[in-house]
Structure 1
Amino acid sequence: MSHKRIPKRRAAIAAGGAVALGAAAILLPNANASQDGGTSDDAATAPRTLKAADASDLASQLAGLLGDAFAGSYYDAGEQQLVVNVVPGDNNRVIVEAKKAGADVREVANSMAELRTGAQTLKSEATVPGTSWALDPRTNKILVTADSTVTGADWDRLESTVEDLGAGMATIKKSEGTFRTFVSGGDAVFGGGARCSLGFNVTAGDGSPAFLTAGHCGVADDQWSDAQAGQPIATVDQAVFPGEGDFALVRYDDPATEAPSEVNLGDRSVQISRASKATVGQQVFRMGSTTGLANGRVLGLDATVNYPEGTVTGLIQTDVCAEPGDSGGPLFTQDGLAIGLTSGGSGDCAVGGETFFQPVTTALEAVGATLGGDADAGAGDRAGGQVGEEAGGQAGEEAGADDQAGGAEGGDGEAVGGGDQAGDGDAGAGDAGDGTGYAGADGTGLTG
């Protein structure tokens, strides 16, 4: 049976194949080597220039190395460096090791334990629908957000709780939108009158093909189709929502279904090499059945969101836009790493807002599934070269026509990869030097 492809409309993306990111794995062993090959003490302790994915891997290693001294980390995209927070104490040795590993180490006031205790206080005293909080290592504080529905006594309660935590522990801001899950009727994957987006194809614990999507999609209906009012192609196996996450494992009904680890581009695809944890400051891309491609950065981790349906914990907070129907769609990096599944948020792709994502690593562990492998290993390479010439321009035209953006001027486009060219007015800039082309649903062209 041919593999099931979920149609994506309005935008196309491409990446130049699966990138095996092993650099971070050797950063610690080679910490004494400077970037230019020297071995001076100054060079050995200077912060290293890192790709975001390498910084994420290094952050995970340093979290274990530093123990209780570790107070979070984030990626400084401008300097291309990993910044690691540590609390003062008898930890000079591990700080030296962190610096040798290439991190920019800074001392902060709040430990991870103190921040998590503060988050627990918010949960027990200020769990109000329309609120969220996440750990923000850039400020070393808890970022508390209230949507437009939080008013009167609820706002007073939230504000009072934040004030009691202290100015050095938490900040609070208002969002113009309303927190909601992004389920809607329309196209993509359908079930129970709702529309969602397929996240990532995976292999279930028993070896059968399946996919991940949002948990609030999984609890909406047991069976899902790839066409509105079509025959079911997959059945929900596990779903979590609300509670400790927003994810579902959906098994393809036909065990012979080919489900390669890739993001579907319609007539071509992009290889997803593996799952990775998010890093604050990291640039990420989201694909959804309503709005196509959007991009932004990770703002916070361990986010708690109080949706009208209930509280969800352990999410990733970003400034990537999304709209109803995008739920469950993949969040990933330009290097082909799976990061998250679209959960919900506020705003839309016209005004922006906050969007929350279920970490893929947590979902995979919970359902016992695996992502990645050697299926269609060359697909990304083939797609990269072709789409760099075709899909960037074509999708930019299509997206521009849909949104009256006409490709805009590259608008909020950010150059990625080696080409350093962001949308040039033709919305796709399809002649990417290395074959990597990203085109957003708002007409923004990103080329590598």
Structure 2
Amino acid sequence: MRLARNLGVVAAGLMVAATITAVPATAGPSFHTEIDPSSVKESIEYLVKTYGVSEQEALRRLELQNDAAKLEEMLKRDASGEYAGMWLDQEGGGKLVVAMTKPSAAQRHVVTMPDRANVKIRTVKNSLSALRSAHDRISKQVGAGPDAVYLPAVSETENRVVVWERAWLKEKKAGVATESQATERAFDAEPGMVSTRTLPKPTPYAVDWGFCHPLYCTNYGPMRGGLRLDMRRDNGTVGGCTSGFNLRTTGGAFPGVPWVLTAGHCMATKTNNVPTQHNGEPVVNQHGIEKNAYPYDYAAVRYVDAAAANKWLESQTNRNVVLKYCRNGGTDSNADTPCGPQATSQNQEITKVTPLAEIKAGMIVCASGSGSSAVNYPDSVDSGAGAGYLVGTRCGRVLSTDVGINTDVCARAGDSGGPLFSQVDKAALGILNGSQQARSGACQMGELNNYSPISTILEDLSARQASGGSVFNVITTPQG
């Protein structure tokens, strides 16, 4: 519970003294979709190891997570005045909790679910539409955006709007008093619905000292989330981060241009304009369109030239992938390193982007990173990740969302910018910013790492290019 309090989150089971309604066991037309276990292998193994359940039970939980998105779509359409959000309670048996101001409004859809016995309806005061309206009003009042001190977010597990204060921006920004007054007025206008908290600033993972990705992607393409990106500092040393997702712009000043997305803090303070490399190969420019103010921590960078773009992306037919590199054994073989007996390298297809508002607490997610240690990879320069930390893909769960995505997925220095994704629906979720912990080496219990939401990044990138008319999107098709 200490971790939850640090996040400003009240555990779902203790959140409100509200009624939990069981769902009657009557059947009807179902919108259930079965999932091929082989497509979510790492997510299944994470659940098996973390919660001591069978593979069949793990698959049930993932299928319920998948069905939850369809249930939400129906409830937003048919019960928008009563629907108040949902989340997955993995610790409580893999239940889906649906919040409603009027429980009966959800029954006709829930009863059609084969797994309805694991769906619970919680009675709450405020509908999601009311919370969203309050969120939008407060956003206008405080001037919410990349440079604002105050950023409101809907907390579905708490049934309220939380106004998060980025205290570290106060001293840099004029007009904070006006924003604070606007926040106070919001409390008066929305009694009992709004609270304010200080957003803990994630410490960006140190840009590491490595020269090339330990996975050595020597076939040069396709560019994938999870590959090592090396940047030369002004003092001659080399630091690196991890690629996140492939982007492409449409229209305007950059029609059809491909970009590589990583963390903005990876590019900070560099002025030498030496191209960013992978495995000694110049790939993208040192700078692009950047911002470094969590949750707006991103850099969209272009390829160094048309030849590099063709070599790394345009000549490939699987442009919508992230790297899934799996290994088991070793000093950090714990629940979130759920792979086979030997290292394997595969691609994870990305076919959609899930907006922050639709990312639910308790969701099972995965991330890929390239942080490394010279102790474990003698032919690689140390990234600062610490001995015993191995490169690759890890899985875990969403602890909460505020203005970013808070997870228990293990990460270390060198992983910054790496992709957070869902195997269940092949969705891009976020890129790694950092942590509020100071950990190195093998993964431990109680990991806490923070991801900048992809939807937030894309909205800001497109808004910054509004005058030029270009729109940024994650590539979600093989030839996108």
Q: TM-score, normalised on structure 1? A: 0.54
Match of 1:359 in 2: 454
1:321/1:349 contact within 8 Å kept: no
Q: CA deviation at 1:111?
A: 2.7
1:147–1:220 Cα change, 3 Å: same
361-370 or 67-76: which moved more? 361-370
2:298/2:457 contact within 8 Å kept: no
Q: CA deviation at 1:211?
A: 3.0
Q: Deviations over 1:21-45 (max 9, x none)?
A: xxxxxxx993399x9xxxxxxxxxx
SS at match of 1:106: strand
1:196/1:328 contact within 8 Å kept: yes
Match of 1:97 in 2: 109
1:220–1:238 Cα change, 3 Å: same
Q: CA deviation at 1:367?
A: 0.9
Q: Deviations over 1:332-363 (max 9, x none)?
A: 23545432211344224467445133236973
Match of 1:76 in 2: 89
Q: Deviations over 1:83-121 (max 9, x none)?
A: 222334xx9556533554555433311233443465564
Aligned amino acid, residue 85 of structure 1: A
Match of 2:19 in 1: none
1:238–1:125 Cα change, 3 Å: closer
Q: TM-score, normalised on structure 2? A: 0.51
Among 348, 351, 358, the residue aligned to 1:272 = 348
1:209/1:257 contact within 8 Å kept: no
In 2, Cα distance between the equivalents of 1:150 and 1:249? Answer: 23
In 1, Cα distance between the equivalents of 2:148 and 2:408? Answer: 20
Among 400, 406, 412, the residue aligned to 1:300 = 400
1:344/1:357 contact within 8 Å kept: no
2:154/2:162 contact within 8 Å kept: yes
Q: CA deviation at 1:329?
A: 0.5
Identity value in percent: 23
Match of 1:419 in 2: none
Among 404, 410, 415, the residue aligned to 1:326 = 415
SS at match of 1:56: helix
Greater relative contact order structure (CA < 8 Å, 6+ sep): 1
Q: Does 1:225 align with 2:270?
A: no
1:84–1:204 Cα change, 3 Å: same
In 2, Cα distance between the equivalents of 1:196 and 1:32? Answer: 41
Match of 1:309 in 2: none
Aligned amino acid, residue 333 of structure 1: S
Tell me, which stretches of 5 or more residues in structure 1 are unaligned? Answer: 1-27, 36-47, 305-314, 376-448
Q: CA deviation at 1:74?
A: 1.2
Matches within 5 A, 1:343-422: 343-349=433-439, 352-353=447-448, 355-359=450-454, 363=458, 367-373=472-478
1:110–1:241 Cα change, 3 Å: farther
Q: CA deviation at 1:62?
A: 3.4
Q: Does 1:317 align with 2:317?
A: no
Q: CA deviation at 1:198?
A: 0.7
Q: Does 1:196 align with 2:241?
A: yes
Q: CA deviation at 1:371?
A: 2.4
Q: CA deviation at 1:54?
A: 3.6
How many residues are treated as equivalent by the alignment?
Answer: 319
1:134/1:317 contact within 8 Å kept: no
1:322/1:348 contact within 8 Å kept: no
SS at match of 1:55: helix
In 2, Cα distance between the equivalents of 1:242 and 1:118? Answer: 24
Q: CA deviation at 1:269?
A: 2.4
1:162/1:170 contact within 8 Å kept: yes
In 2, Cα distance between the equivalents of 1:144 and 1:322? Answer: 27
Q: Deviations over 1:289-337 (max 9, x none)?
A: 3354554322334x33xxxxxxxxxx32334454443221111235454
Q: CA deviation at 1:233?
A: 0.7
Tell me, which stretches of 5 or more residues in structure 2 are unaligned? Answer: 1-26, 35-59, 171-175, 211-227, 234-238, 327-342, 372-384, 386-390, 441-445, 463-470
1:62–1:250 Cα change, 3 Å: farther
In 1, Cα distance between the equivalents of 2:104 and 2:278? Answer: 59
